Chain A
Amino acid sequence: GAVVSQHPSRVICKSGTSVKIECRSLDFQATTMFWYRQFPKQSLMLMATSNEGSKATYEQGVEKDKFLINHASLTLSTLTVTSAHPEDSSFYICSARFFMLDEQFFGPGTRLTVL
Chain B
Amino acid sequence: GNSVTQMEGPVTLSEEAFLTINCTYTATGYPSLFWYVQYPGEGLQLLLKATKADDKGSNKGFEATYRKETTSFHLEKGSVQVSDSAVYFCALSLRGGSEKLVFGKGTKLTVNP
Contact = CB atoms under 8 A, between A and B. Distances in A.
Given A43-B106, A44-B103, A108-B43, A102 B98 contact: yes
Given A93-B44, A108-B42, A43 B98 contact: no
Nearest to B49: A103
Interface string A40-79: 0111111001000000000000000000000000000000
Contact of B105 (A41, A93, A95, A105): A41
A55 B109 CA distance: 39
Contact of A93 (B4, B41, B43): B43
Interface in A96-115: 97-99, 101-109
A41 B45 CA distance: 19
Interface of B: 4, 36, 41-46, 89, 96-98, 100-106
A97 B100 contact: no
B18 to A, nearest CB: 25
Interface residues of A, number: 25
Interface of A: 1, 4, 32, 34, 41-46, 49, 93, 95, 97-99, 101-109
Given A97-B98, A99-B98, A103-B98, A43 B104 contact: yes
Contact of B43 (A49, A97, A106): A106
Nearest to A59: B100
B101 A104 contact: yes
A4 B89 contact: no
A43 B100 contact: no
A82 to B, nearest CB: 24
